[in-house]
Amino acid sequence: MTDLSHPHSSNTLRETDRLMTVCNSCRYCEGLCAVFPAMEMRRAFSDGDLNYLANLCHACGACYADCQFAPPHEFNVNVPQTLAIARAESYAHYAWPPGLSGLFARNGLVISLIAALSVAAFVFGFAAFTDPAVLYGVHTGPGAFYKLMPHNAMAVLFSAAFLYAIVALVMGVHAFWRNIGEPVGMTTGPRALLQALRDAGELRYLHGGGVGCYNEDERPTDRRKLYHHLTFYGFLLCFAATSVATLYHYLLAREAPYPWWDLPVVLGTLGGLGLVIGPIGLLVAKTARDPALVDKQRMGMDVAFIIMLWLTGATGLLLLVLRATAAMGPLLALHLGVVFALFLTMPYGKFVHGIYRYAALVRYARERQMMGG
């Protein structure tokens, strides 16, 4: 057959191909987001192309509410849900090391286990390092935290977890980037990287073509974007707080805890608030969402990640408020345990969506430049 369509490695990708072929002969949604214009640049789709499109989709839901062929129509066109499933499967497909890709499927459970174990390890670790009484003691002033765990030990442990996460993520994205096909001359440039940074930073395509995203019905709202911003920027602020504190420690020899007005605390408080409010909003929106739009099987993965982020923010804030009391020891153990688990599970959970989507946006920005648009 001269049909140029590609064979595909999974049923999900076969269904995605069917939908993209339908959409490519319809094109009514081309103004809604980046997915459709990217689709229009192709006439047949490899596995990599489909994974690229799936990760370019921001799940705003507009193309479902707007599709005349959505179920119950017999053409059964459900782009958001199909791309959501393809997206989740792509994370597992590109996971590094490949042997751990199965973690995605059992993500909710794995995250809970790792989190519980990490917290337990920190509690026992503290107790073993010092004597149990120290854990429940009241410590104040510079260096108070390190009565429980020496700073260097903390730094080594977290750097190791963080580095592992980075390596695993880089390997995964590298595989993705190669697979989504990089024709000659398609190497990316600073302009595409910047454009994608802006598109990702603004969540430019989580907007249903301008009205906001669709959640429970065909009436659009913009709330998911707001909650996502709170969560994402909250996370960045917390990360910045930790980085500044590390610099203080090693460059200025100033030890935590810092007074409330100091940069790490201000950043951490603001970030923590974002991380407490944002995930709650996302979780509420997720529960209310029309089941037709979501990948029901991956709810566990999404929820686990949202809860981990919330716990990071909540324990951090609590630690700040109660750091001069006897609760400091257990809370520090809890907070560090949660953050440690978050780092460790990063490459095998919902966290990766940001990385893959950014890579897809870079690719899209580059394609647009090549097309002169």
Residues lying near other proteins in the complex (CB under 8 A) are found at 1-5, 21-22, 24-26, 28-32, 43-44, 62-63, 65-70, 72-75, 209-211, 218-219
Kind plus residue range of the DSSP H or E element containing 213: strand 213-214
Q: Is residue 205 a contact residue for ligand SF4 (CB under 6 A)? A: yes
Of the candidates 331, 309, 333, the residue with the CA atom closest to the CA atom of residue 318: 331
Q: Is residue 361 a contact residue for ligand SF4 (CB under 6 A)? A: no
Q: Which stretch binds ligand SF4 (CB under 6 A): 29-37, 41-49, 170-178, 182-190?
A: 29-37
In the beta sheet, which residues pair with residue 221?
A: 213
Q: Which stretch binds ligand SF4 (CB under 6 A): 53-61, 193-201, 331-339, 345-353?
A: 53-61
Residue type, 117: L
- Give which of other proteins, ligand SF4, none residue 72 binds (C-beta under 5 to 8 Å, depending on kind): other proteins
Interface residue with ligand SF4, options 60, 309, 341, 355 (CB under 6 A): 60
Token match 């973690």: residue?
103
Distance CA 208, CA 66 (A): 10
Token match 């790792």: residue?
114
Distance CA 125, CA 48 (A): 45
Distance CA 103, CA 110 (A): 7
Radius of gyration (C-alpha) of the chain in whole angstroms: 23
Q: Is residue 212 a contact residue for ligand SF4 (CB under 6 A)? A: no
Distance CA 70, CA 54 (A): 18
Q: Is residue 79 a contact residue for ligand SF4 (CB under 6 A)? A: yes
Least CB distance to other proteins at residue 51 (A): 19
Q: Which stretch binds ligand SF4 (CB under 6 A): 78-86, 111-119, 191-199, 359-367?
A: 78-86
Q: Which stretch binds ligand SF4 (CB under 6 A): 22-30, 160-168, 232-240, 327-335?
A: 22-30
Tokens of 346: 């990063």
Residues forming contacts to ligand SF4 in the complex (CB under 6 A) are 22-23, 26-29, 32-33, 35, 57-63, 66-69, 77, 79-80, 83, 205
